[in-house]
């Protein structure tokens, strides 16, 4: 990096918001995917849109890559620094600029914490629906970049279904306004294209969110089963009945053990699979739907059924589920998190294959998944101190993803491609498809500075080191989806 040019970047920020010491760069060298490490040249902490515009112009002019970073909770290495690049930290741009209860919208800065939006909307009987498990820490900007999901995607959709408008600084510094404040749109859906573009199209400095009325009633039922197959069959029965639950989640044996160990989750003894089904809506709807759901679940021969009678009991059920990822850290020194999708009807087959592949690899796999939409999270457990276990775990991970795609699924349901899965993109998209996406990318970012090296297949990252649980997970601050 030319020292003279770097000085130009430094001039944009006061000293305390331009970090380039060794010690300052270390906390930013990984994100939620701790296997990858890359020290940035510098971190700039933005507080205004003008600083972002000037920084991106500088990056464009000098072809220096940048990655925008919220809380760094990405599980795909999406906010991993780019080699020879800078990090643009957005946490200080964390204000809710406007909350319009009448229109049911909130206009927020990218560093706004996901759960803070719902807290702010709650007095108006509204909430922000997308609920990734890291929502106490992750930011809206990151959610937009990666089209974050959550347990309640089944009924309410992902982040992309809740973004109405964006104010974006493109990678060359031009500002564009996409969408607006309406639920409807005209022309090509540019907001839809931007959401989930993994930071490759610049930085959104203002995001208009759609708020929903807080459901008047909720009904949460937990059922324990002897086998995962039985839990899967129960899910099929629910779907076939025509019900549309807000969420349907399954945890298998190792995930249950971990949750019970870590957060003392109160799940039925002897259960090798737990199914959580949640209905929400008006009281009339709930009364009607639970009269269908409860007997249906009872007829699937669970070993036990629990129905949450209070908000506290409901919170405990979800605490166990949402802690599952972090909790497996208590039963295994290391693990790889996956995020594959299969058509829902292929869930049973996929789980059977995972069991077979895991046995062959001599490794345990805990399964947590969004049963309603076929989004699997196999957690491959291994011990990094045992000489060949990491390579075996990685090989197993690759086999599982390949298997899921062969069943008609996807390499990623909600974590995004980032750094971790870019080599798998050719398993889903042809060279023509990838070239078409790259043409769009280059048209928007001619020097490919915006999160360079992510999403598209490329050379391997500089450093691949397994670090175990993210420090925030160890501290119990966040949990993974």
Partner 1 sequence: MIDLGKCESPQSVAEFSEILTDAAKRRQPRTIRGAASKIVVPATAADVFITTQAYTGIVDHQASDFTITARAGTPIREVIATLASVGQCLPFDPTYANHNATVGGLVATGLNGPCRLRYGGIRDFVIGCQHVDGVGNIVRSGGKVVKNAAGFDIPKLMVGSGGKLGLITEVTFKVFPAAQCFRTFLFPTSNFQDTVSLIQRLVSIYEFEAIEILEDNAVVTRIAGSTTNQLEAVSHHIAESLHTPLEIVDDESTFWTELSNAELPSDTWLVKVPIDRKRIIALDGAISDLHQSRRYTAGGHSCLASIDSETALASLASILNQQNLTGQVVVGNSNRYLLGRAGEIPFLQRIKSAMDPHNIFGAIDVLTGASAP
Task: Say whether residue 185 binds partner 1 (CB under 8 A).
Answer: yes
Number of residues that bind partner 1 (CB under 8 A): 85
**Under rule CB under 8 A, which residues in 337-356 are in contact with partner 1?**
341-345
From candidates 16, 186, 295, 387, binder to partner 1 by CB under 8 A: 186
How is the beta sheet containing 86-89 ordered, strand by strand? 18-19, 42-45, 86-89, 66-69
| Token code pair at residue 234 | 């129960």
Sign of CA dihedral 53, 13, 137, 199: positive
Which string of x and - marks every residue 355-394 that binds partner 1 (by CB under 8 A)? ---------------x--xxx-------------------
The piece of 12-20, 276-284, 297-305, 354-362 that touches partner 1 (CB under 8 A) is: 276-284
**Under rule CB under 8 A, which residues in 195-214 are in contact with partner 1?**
195-197, 213
Task: Say whether residue 141 binds partner 1 (CB under 8 A).
Answer: no
Q: In the complex with partner 1, which residue's Cβ is closer, 29 or 103?
A: 103
**For the chain, counts of helices (H) and of strands (E):** 17, 18
Q: In the complex with partner 1, which residue's Cβ is closer, 240 or 312?
A: 240
**Under rule CB under 8 A, which residues in 152-181 are in contact with partner 1?**
153, 157-158, 160-161, 168, 170, 174, 176-181
Task: Say whether residue 192 binds partner 1 (CB under 8 A).
Answer: yes
Task: Say whether residue 244 binds partner 1 (CB under 8 A).
Answer: yes
**Shortest approach of partner 1 to residue 421 CB, angstroms?**
8
Task: Say whether residue 100 binds partner 1 (CB under 8 A).
Answer: yes
Task: Say whether residue 97 binds partner 1 (CB under 8 A).
Answer: no
Looking at 22-142, which runs of residues are DSSP E strands? 42-45, 66-69, 86-89, 96-100, 105-108, 126-127
Q: In the complex with partner 1, which residue's Cβ is closer, 329 or 418?
A: 418
- In the block, which residue shows the tokens 């549309």? 244
SS (H, E, C) 377-400: EEEEEECCCCCCHHHHHHHHHHHH
| Token code pair at residue 340 | 């594959």
**Shortest approach of partner 1 to residue 227 CB, angstroms?**
20
**Shortest approach of partner 1 to residue 343 CB, angstroms?**
4
Q: In the complex with partner 1, which residue's Cβ is closer, 96 or 239?
A: 239
CB atoms near residue 261 (< 10 Å): 13
**Under rule CB under 8 A, which residues in 101-130 are in contact with partner 1?**
102-103, 105, 125
Rounded CA-CA distance 341/411 in Å is: 7
Question: Among residues 426, 425, 455, 427, which one has the least CA distance to residue 440?
Answer: 455
- In the block, which residue shows the tokens 């760094």? 72
The piece of 53-61, 183-191, 263-271, 388-396 that touches partner 1 (CB under 8 A) is: 183-191
Rounded CA-CA distance 208/206 in Å is: 7
Q: Would you give the end-to-end CA distance of the chain in angstroms? A: 38
What is the rounded (10 degree) CA torsion for 390, 392, 395, 399?
-130
**Under rule CB under 8 A, which residues in 404-443 are in contact with partner 1?**
408-417, 421, 425, 428-430, 432-433, 435-437, 439-443
Q: In the complex with partner 1, which residue's Cβ is closer, 98 or 460?
A: 98
């Amino acid at each position: 990096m030319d020292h003279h040019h770097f000085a130009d970047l430094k001039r944009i920020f006061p000293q305390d918001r331009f970090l380039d010491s060794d010690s300052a760069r270390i906390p930013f060298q990984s994100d939620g995917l701790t296997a990858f490490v890359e020290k940035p040249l510098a971190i700039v902490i933005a507080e205004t849109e003008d600083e972002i515009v000037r920084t991106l112009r500088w990056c464009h002019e000098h072809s220096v890559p940048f990655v925008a970073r919220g809380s760094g909770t990405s599980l795909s290495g999406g906010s991993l620094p780019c080699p020879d690049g800078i990090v643009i930290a957005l946490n200080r741009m964390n204000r809710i600029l406007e909350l319009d209860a009448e229109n049911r919208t909130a206009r927020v800065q990218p560093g706004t914490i996901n759960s803070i939006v719902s807290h702010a909307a709650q007095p108006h009987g509204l909430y922000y629906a997308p609920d990734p498990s890291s929502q106490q820490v992750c930011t809206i900007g990151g959610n937009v970049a990666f089209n974050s999901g959550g347990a309640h995607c089944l009924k309410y959709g992902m982040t992309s279904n809740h973004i109405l408008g964006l104010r974006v600084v493109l990678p060359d510094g031009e500002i564009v306004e996409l969408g607006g404040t309406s639920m409807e749109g005209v022309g090509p859906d540019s907001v839809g294209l931007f959401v989930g573009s993994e930071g490759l199209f610049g930085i959104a400095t203002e995001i208009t969110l759609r708020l929903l009325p807080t459901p008047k009633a909720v009904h949460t039922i937990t059922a324990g089963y002897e086998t995962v197959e039985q839990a899967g069959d129960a899910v099929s029965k629910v779907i076939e009945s025509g019900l549309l639950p807000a969420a349907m989640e399954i945890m298998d044996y190792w995930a249950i053990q971990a949750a019970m160990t870590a957060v003392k989750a109160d799940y039925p003894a002897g259960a090798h699979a737990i199914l959580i089904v949640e209905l929400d809506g008006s009281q009339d709807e709930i009364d009607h739907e639970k009269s269908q759901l409860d007997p249906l679940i009872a007829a699937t021969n669970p070993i036990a059924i629990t129905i949450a009678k209070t908000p506290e009991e409901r919170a405990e059920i979800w605490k166990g589920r949402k802690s599952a990822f972090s909790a497996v850290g208590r039963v295994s020194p290391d693990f790889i998190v996956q995020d594959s999708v299969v058509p829902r009807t292929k869930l049973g087959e996929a789980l059977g294959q995972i069991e077979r592949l895991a046995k062959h690899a001599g490794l345990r796999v805990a399964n947590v998944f969004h049963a309603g939409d076929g989004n699997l999270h196999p957690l491959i457990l291994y011990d990094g101190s045992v000489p060949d276990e990491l390579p075996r775990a990685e090989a197993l991970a690759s086999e599982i993803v390949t298997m899921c795609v062969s069943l008609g699924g996807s390499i990623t349901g909600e974590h995004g491609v980032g750094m971790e899965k870019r080599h798998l993109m050719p398993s889903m998209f042809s060279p023509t498809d990838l070239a078409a996406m790259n043409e769009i990318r280059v048209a928007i970012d001619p020097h490919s500075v915006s999160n360079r090296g992510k999403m598209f297949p490329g050379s391997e990252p500089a450093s691949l080191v397994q670090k175990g649980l993210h420090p925030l997970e160890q501290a119990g601050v966040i949990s993974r989806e």
